[in-house]
Amino acid sequence: MSRIRSAGAAALASMSLLVLPALAQHRPHKSKPQAISEPWMNRQLSPDQRAELVLKQLTLDEKIALVHGNGMPGWGPQRPNAYLGNGGAGFVLGVARLGIPMIQMSDAAYGVRSSAANGRYSTALPSNLGSAASWDPQAACAYGALIGRELRAQGYNMTLGGGVNLTREPRDGRTFEYMGEDPVLAGTMVGNRIRCEQAQHVIGDIKHYAINDQESGRNEVNAIISRRAMRETDLLAFQIGISIGHPGAVMCSYNAVNGDFACQNKYLLTDVLKRDWKFPGFVVSDWGGTHSTIRASNAGLDNEEPLDDYYGARLKRDVLAGKVPMAQLNDHVRRILRSEFASGIVDHPTQKSVVDVFGDLAIARHIEENSIVLLKNQGAILPLNASSLRSIAVIGEHADTGMISGGGSAQVDPPGATSPPWLSHVWFPTSPLKAIREQAPRATVQFNSGSDPAAAAALAAKSQVAIVFAHQWSSEGMDLKSLELPGNQDTLIEQVAKANPNTIVVVESATAVTMPWVNKVKGIVEVWFAGSDGHHAMANVLFGKVNPSAKLPITFPLSVADLPHPHIVQPPPHAQGAAPVMKKGTDKPTFNVHYNEGLLVGYKWYDAKHKPVLFPFGYGLSYTTYAYSNLSADPQVRSVSFTVKNTGARAGVEIAEVYASLPATANEPPKRLVGWSRVSLAPGQSKTVTVAIKPLYLSVYNSATDQWKEVPGTYTLRVGGSSASLPLTASFNLQ
């Protein structure tokens, strides 16, 4: 979900946060639902059958009420029925006489947002990009299940998380909400998150559909991209995520694609999503992303949020006038009802309860431990030996009190605080200094904020080890100007490293960062936005209680000059500013972004252009080492088998990656990820691993025939520990 609120709207939101709890006792959805003994309440029927039975009972006004929202705190004047909302992003009225509940929506990108409105606590998980670094579908499942449980505990039954836009532009302000640059990795991770989220009886969502790859001018930008490139990159991530997670909803994005806004783009919503992929759920607009009534309805938009500018009185008028066929309105409604039944929100009404704070903290910590990427470990400086350390310098802004989190509609309220203002830097009370002191009780651990690099260097010079905490904040509604660490952090690290050769840098970032000091420090650890217990996860990795296993889901370039677009395309002057949504009736984008790199997203760009990088996609170190051997490929069943051996002295988990190079006639990037396996190994242990490869992952999309096809010729499979370290190769022919 996406939106920017003005200062006045934010003030209104703050007032709403005070008013809504007082009205909670009047909310009908809190009372015990009336028993309905009607045919559609028969759980033996399919969701489609149940939806069809309800549809036949609805009046026109009830149908219209199901296809739009009723506002949200801070979004324009409050409606008279605003008290029915749960304090979240918005709500859709139900049909009480038929037992159909309201849909109560919450932003839940990496945790339930605006929990303070309900007097509740929410766990902040590691950022989505961080969780993707685990390459662990089971961790993605645990991630989604936790959010699903906490949504229900707060009275919500629909999530607006599930971001999977590929990192085509790493400076995109929402990169931390997404799952990286590869469609197979991103789609697999988000699909497993959604699958387990919905198992908790909430409606899942996948977004922002599609090609929503920059925030600059997002309401007016037109993404120009070939259909083949679109289908093999961003849309492939959605296709995989939907096939695994079966979300109840797809959120269309603000931007236009090839001339048509995404929320009225027939190719995206009907031709691809509903016809090709046979998606049975409903399409919900991003907040304020609807631009028309008839055109949007014809294109396949099912639900307008957060209000009814186009899908309220206008839609009713056009239905009565025959401009929007009743069958088309029925399809919108049927899809919404089907998702309500399929997700279980009809059969399992929410009941507010207390979140399992300590249990969920443990889950968040475990996910973060598996998401931390060890980028450099010169001289085996890590893990730190607490028994031999006598002095440690902890340096960096807020490293004594907290760790940074991502802003915008994804922002989770920190414990004990009200919802923070939009675009504010929020530091969770997760003190790295405290966690390090707990791990090294015999050492003198001193802190310096780094505001004066010379003073920080002086502290580092008299310490055995210096640990510098660097951060890069990011948010929806903005793009980063560069990938450099903001402020004087690069200078700080350089001076600390000069003063102490045993310098370790812990990076808390939204996306990739450049590191001009990379050769001057001994250790680098990427912890992303680490969540509600990130300080303990970080310390467990630094001191060796956890052996890092994560690998990068995005490439870290040497410089922004190496990106496909060295400069982010900016909107024209008239489009700049704080206006959150398009003016009503505006039906055409005003400026273009040409994604001429096409298929070459992320590592595929650097491979094809022979550009060196700082750290490649799929890269990550461990406190042990691994060796690969005995690769064999079976083209009949599309699989590869190989042996992985732990050649070190510690138990660990290796993420073994499989890439394919297609026949030259396919005109594809040099290689693509087609599978992987997380292999747990004791010291000296070997395992034979088999990775099945889906035919889709070896196929090319033909836009002329609108088909995926494996190209005849020689396929080369490559296996190893990162996209740049693939020691095993095997080839086979497909006819």
Place of tokens 């932003």: 107
Structure tokens at 111: 């945790």
Residues 160 and 601: their CA atoms lie apart, in Å, by 26
Place of tokens 């396949």: 300
Cα–chain center distance at 492: 31
User: With contact defined as beta carbons under 8 Å apart, do 67 and 303 qualify?
Assistant: yes
Q: Specify whether the CB–CB gap between 159 and 197 falls below 8 A.
A: yes
Single-letter amino acid, residue 35: A
How many other C-beta atoms are found inside a 10 Å radius of the C-beta of residue 691? 18
Q: Work out the number of other CB atoms within 10 angstroms of the CB of residue 339.
A: 28
Question: How many Å separate Cα 93 from the centre of its chain?
Answer: 28
CB 394 within 8 A of CB 432: yes
DSSP β-bridge partners for residue 68? 304
Give Cα 593 distance to the centre of its chain.
23
Amino acid at residue number 233:
T
DSSP 503-526: EEEEEEESS----TTGGG-SEEEE
Helix (H) or strand (E) holding 630: strand 626-634
Point out the catalytic residue in the list 213, 286, 309, 360: 286
How far is CA 540 from each of CA 3, 127, 135, 270, 370, rounded to the nearest angstrom? 37, 19, 20, 48, 11
Return the sign of the alpha-carbon dihedral for residues 628, 551, 363, 184.
negative
Asked if 126 and 545 count as a contact pair (C-beta separation under 8 A), the reply is no
* C-beta separation of 160 from 104 below 8 A: no
Q: Taking the mean position of all CA atoms in its chain, how far away is CA 187?
A: 10
Cβ distance 685 to 565 under 8 Å? no
Q: List, in order, residues 6 or more apart from 425 with CB less than 8 Å away.
A: 404, 407, 473
- Measured over the CA atoms of residue 28, residue 34, residue 40 and residue 43, the dihedral's sign is positive
Contact present, 647 and 627 (Cβ < 8 Å): yes
Distance of CA 188 to the CA centre of its chain: 12
Burial group, residue 180, by CB count within 10 angstroms (0-12, 13-18, 19+)? buried
- Distance (Å, whole) CA 665 – CA 181: 24
Length of the chain: 735
Within a 10 A sphere around the Cβ of 491, how many other Cβ atoms? 14
Residue type at 111 in one-letter notation: G
- The total of other beta-carbon atoms located within 10 Å of residue 684's CB is 10
Tell me, yes or no, if 286 is annotated catalytic. yes
- Report yes or no: 198 and 248 within 8 Å, Cβ to Cβ: yes
Question: Dihedral through CA 236, CA 241, CA 247, CA 252, nearest 10?
Answer: -40
- Per the structure block, which two tokens stand in for 130? 């961080």
Active site residues: 286
